[in-house]
């Protein structure tokens, strides 16, 4: 409260034992009255404390000035809510019992995933009430990056478990955080190698140790709540393989609110992590790429020495000696926005892939492991007078490996990429693994057959059944994925500000479609407006050398303000205009981005502050046109926050057009997976249709793809078999897709 500045407006006793008010997100409630909210904040700057706007205008803070805030009457609160919490607790305990009875004879292990946070603490208490002692274990996944206060509450919880007979284990990576951060580079929002290396892999290895089985099947009781985020609101109570491959997860407190969590803790004497009393809404990793804003400020104030350690690691990792740039890289979020290893210092690329003429080459420099071990994961090799032959899916493929002073050069006929794209993908990944493998053991835990083992940090593969699960990792190798350099493509930051201060307006579009060809001679726009609007029209496919294009004629015939026409235009814009592409790639659906936050994101990419303001301003202009109103592309809130939305697409042929444009822009083979479309971490020239339209609902996407396959088999075939979801585009073009629209006019 002092950090936020509450002491400037109210008096209160300086004690940390009993709360004074409720906080939900950035809003603060006292005696049922919403009294303040916060805005902004970063690692070094406190968030601004704001009054609450009501129908009567602004409530001045002084309305409660001079009052001494009284702590919440915990005892009275618990008594008042006894009936409610009894029902909630009983219902949840019964769910846990039913789940246990359903699976107890089928599974090898039940475990509570304990983190030291409030949700997992409540979950553990509930599971203890529901299940017999010894029927489950508790595993604390120690990332080595937890809050200092978390380790204190973990020790207390471990002692309680020892006293009541509940087995309590700690899993931890063989990497210390300073080792892994220097090895992989700082984790980022789309490069969260830390979760695999420091959390899921050690937990899996610990359960293999407990059960004595590589292929154990277990049930994780997890303290996930739907109220925590938009993503978690879509979770189900039970799932198989979504949290960890081959394992069940059950989320007993999925529908609990944070108020119910705190009520339960006070009513049942559950240990409270002191980190919450210091302003932290969550108690996960101390410095997380998914954090930022005011949460970074609270953490830095509370644990300045520990947080500064991470800040120094990040600054040291940045490929610049400019002090101001290094500070900006940390505070403006450049570090957690990275998508590859381009910005990392001392990061020579060790696996360079290229296709020239009729040959695919892979140049490997200073390999860290033996490719002959990794290639066992895709087939058996035979040495020939001219190189090697490998058997894959009952077919042989030839390749050569030529050693040189720095490593070796691998060559493979380019025709294999079209004949067997799956083989070539796995083949490339073999040499990525050989180049970069650091024995993080993620591949080992992906292999449920015990074929992969690491001895003295060296990989040994025996009796491989070629299930390829060890390849089901980003880019085939987490370290390669985090350190890789972009190889061609990408949008230049210099051209990002496409519209200056003259983004399109609705009346400009009305004039364009009314005048058509005559627009270019009869428009009434000023010179700068005209130049910027022509750029917009060109990238939308509507203008070519100051002529009304056939695509523009099609859009006019469809009705340019319909979601179908707007959808086709936004596809062209996302593929050919770097500013529109930046909005799509950097704004997640349904997330509020403060104007200053977006400007900082751009400045962190070396965009000039003036240009950053123009790009933010342009977003409002664009979403004030039918692109925002009819297509539902996004909007700007009353608080000036930028929001992107799931697009309204009533004609699925728009998605088909987007798929073809995407494949053409990225120069893809005709076959690719849905997971490739979902992978935001890949740097590529085209924008994924899933990201563009917000098609993240699995069932909706499946329905669209299968529907298109059924209706237009000459254009697309989508197959959903087991975990493999494949899209195959026929020998057509995006222009052919547009003919489907022309035929109806």
Would you list the DSSP string of 660-676? HHHHHHHT--SEEEHHH
Neighbours of 538 (CB within 10 A): 17
Mean pLDDT of the 26-33 span: 86
pLDDT at residue 697, rounded to an integer: 86
pLDDT at residue 601, rounded to an integer: 80
Given a cut of 90, whether residue 320 has pLDDT beyond it is no
Given a cut of 50, whether residue 540 has pLDDT beyond it is yes
Length of the chain: 745
End-to-end CA distance of the chain: 64
- Phi first, then psi, for residue 593 (nearest 5°) are -115, 120
**49-95 pLDDT tens trace:** 887 765 555 554 544 455 789 999 999 999 999 999 999 999 999 99
CB 257 within 8 A of CB 265: no
pLDDT at residue 233, rounded to an integer: 46
- Helix, strand or coil for residue 389? strand
Given a cut of 50, whether residue 240 has pLDDT beyond it is yes
- Helix, strand or coil for residue 195? helix
| Gap between the Cα atoms of 716 and 706, Å rounded | 9
CB 116 within 8 A of CB 156: no
**178-217 pLDDT tens trace:** 999 999 999 998 889 999 999 999 999 999 999 999 999 9
What are the E-state strand segments in 499-652?
593-594, 634-636, 641-644
CB 139 within 8 A of CB 111: yes
Range with the lowest mean pLDDT among 40-44, 252-256, 570-574? Answer: 40-44
pLDDT at residue 603, rounded to an integer: 77
In the block, tokens 């944070």 appear at 258
| Gap between the Cα atoms of 347 and 439, Å rounded | 18
Given a cut of 60, whether residue 731 has pLDDT beyond it is yes
pLDDT at residue 493, rounded to an integer: 41
Range with the lowest mean pLDDT among 151-160, 225-234, 326-335, 486-495? Answer: 486-495
Given a cut of 50, whether residue 231 has pLDDT beyond it is no
Higher pLDDT, 56 or 394: 394
CB 235 within 8 A of CB 254: yes
**117-148 pLDDT tens trace:** 999 999 999 999 999 999 999 999 999 999 99
Higher pLDDT, 639 or 443: 443
**570-603 pLDDT tens trace:** 999 999 999 999 999 989 998 888 888 888 888 7
- Mode of pairing for the β-strands spanning 109-114 and 137-141: parallel
pLDDT at residue 596, rounded to an integer: 87
Mean pLDDT of the 433-458 span: 94
- Phi first, then psi, for residue 375 (nearest 5°) are -70, -15
Neighbours of 375 (CB within 10 A): 23
| Gap between the Cα atoms of 143 and 176, Å rounded | 9
Q: Report the share of the chain in percent with pLDDT over 90.
A: 68
Given a cut of 50, whether residue 381 has pLDDT beyond it is yes
pLDDT at residue 145, rounded to an integer: 96
pLDDT at residue 722, rounded to an integer: 54
Neighbours of 386 (CB within 10 A): 9
pTM equals 0.73
Highest mean pLDDT, choosing among 294-298, 502-506, 741-745: 502-506
Mean pLDDT for all residues in the chain: 90
pLDDT interval class at 680 (50, 70, 90)? confident
CB 169 within 8 A of CB 139: yes
CB 176 within 8 A of CB 162: no
Gyration radius from the chain CA atoms: 28
């Amino acid at each position: 409260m002092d950090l936020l500045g509450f002491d400037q407006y109210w008096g209160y006793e300086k004690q940390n034992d009993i709360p004074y008010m409720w906080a939900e997100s950035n809003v603060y409630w006292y005696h049922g009255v919403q009294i303040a909210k916060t805005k902004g904040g970063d690692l070094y700057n406190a968030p601004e404390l704001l009054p609450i706007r009501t129908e009567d205008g602004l409530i001045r803070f002084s309305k409660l000035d001079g009052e001494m805030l009284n702590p919440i009457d915990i005892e009275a609160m618990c008594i008042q809510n006894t009936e409610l919490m009894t029902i909630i607790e009983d219902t949840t305990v019964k769910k846990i019992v039913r789940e246990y009875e359903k699976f107890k004879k089928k599974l090898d292990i039940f475990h509570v995933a304990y983190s030291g946070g409030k949700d997992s603490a409540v979950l553990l208490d509930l599971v203890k009430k529901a299940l017999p002692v010894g029927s489950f274990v508790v595993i604390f996944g120690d990332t080595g990056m937890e809050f200092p206060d978390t380790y204190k509450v973990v020790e207390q919880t471990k002692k309680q478990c020892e006293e009541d007979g509940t087995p309590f284990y700690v899993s931890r990576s063989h990497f210390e955080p300073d080792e892994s951060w220097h090895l992989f580079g700082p984790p980022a929002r789309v490069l969260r190698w830390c979760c695999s290396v420091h959390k899921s892999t050690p937990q899996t290895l610990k359960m293999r140790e407990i059960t004595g089985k590589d292929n154990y099947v277990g049930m994780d009781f997890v303290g996930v709540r739907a109220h925590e985020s938009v993503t978690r609101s879509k979770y189900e109570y039970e799932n198989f393989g979504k949290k960890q491959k081959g394992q069940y997860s059950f989320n007993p407190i999925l529908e609990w609110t944070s108020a119910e969590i705190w009520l339960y803790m006070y009513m049942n004497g559950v240990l409270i992590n002191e980190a919450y009393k210091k302003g932290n809404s969550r108690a996960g990793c101390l410095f997380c790429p998914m954090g930022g804003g005011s949460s970074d400020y609270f953490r830095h104030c509370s644990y300045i020495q520990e947080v500064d350690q991470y800040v120094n690691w990040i600054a040291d990792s940045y490929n610049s000696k400019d002090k101001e740039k290094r500070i900006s890289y940390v505070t403006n979020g450049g570090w957690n926005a990275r998508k590859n290893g381009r910005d990392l210092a001392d990061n020579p690329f060790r696996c360079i892939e290229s296709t020239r003429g009729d040959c695919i080459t892979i140049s490997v420099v200073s390999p860290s492991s033996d490719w002959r071990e990794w290639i066992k994961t895709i087939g058996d090799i035979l040495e020939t007078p001219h190189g090697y032959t490998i058997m894959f899916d009952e077919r042989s493929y030839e390749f050569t490996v030529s050693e040189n002073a720095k490593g070796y050069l691998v060559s493979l006929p380019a025709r294999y990429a079209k004949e067997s794209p799956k083989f070539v993908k796995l083949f490339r990944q073999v040499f990525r693994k050989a180049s970069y493998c650091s024995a993080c053991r993620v591949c080992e835990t992906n292999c449920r057959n015990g074929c992969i083992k690491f001895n003295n940090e060296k990989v040994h593969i025996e009796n491989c059944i070629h299930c390829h699960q060890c390849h089901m990792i980003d880019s085939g190798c987490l370290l390669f994925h985090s350190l890789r350099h972009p190889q061609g493509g990408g949008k230049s930051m210099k051209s990002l500000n496409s519209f200056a201060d003259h983004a399109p307006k609705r009346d400009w579009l009305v004039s364009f479609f009314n005048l058509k060809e005559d627009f270019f001679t009869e428009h009434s726009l000023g010179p700068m407006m005209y130049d910027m609007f022509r750029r917009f029209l060109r990238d939308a496919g509507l203008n070519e050398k100051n002529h009304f294009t056939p695509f523009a004629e099609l859009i006019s015939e469809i009705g340019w303000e319909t979601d179908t026409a707007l959808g086709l235009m936004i596809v062209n814009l996302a593929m050919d205009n770097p500013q529109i592409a930046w909005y799509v790639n950097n704004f997640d659906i349904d997330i509020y981005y403060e104007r200053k936050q977006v400007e900082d994101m751009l400045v962190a990419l070396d965009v000039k502050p003036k240009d950053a303001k123009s790009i933010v301003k342009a977003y409002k202009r664009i979403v004030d046109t039918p692109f925002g109103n009819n297509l539902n592309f996004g909007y700007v809130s009353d608080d000036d926050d930028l929001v992107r939305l799931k697009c309204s697409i009533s004609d699925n042929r728009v998605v088909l057009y987007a798929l073809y444009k995407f494949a053409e822009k990225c120069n893809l083979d005709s076959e690719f997976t849905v997971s490739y479309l979902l992978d935001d971490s890949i740097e590529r020239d085209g924008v994924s249709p899933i990201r563009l339209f917000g098609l993240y609902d699995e069932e909706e996407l499946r329905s669209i793809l299968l529907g298109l396959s059924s209706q237009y088999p000459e254009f697309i075939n989508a197959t959903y078999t087991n975990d493999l979801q494949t899209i195959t585009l026929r020998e057509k073009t995006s222009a052919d897709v547009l003919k489907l629209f022309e035929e109806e006019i």
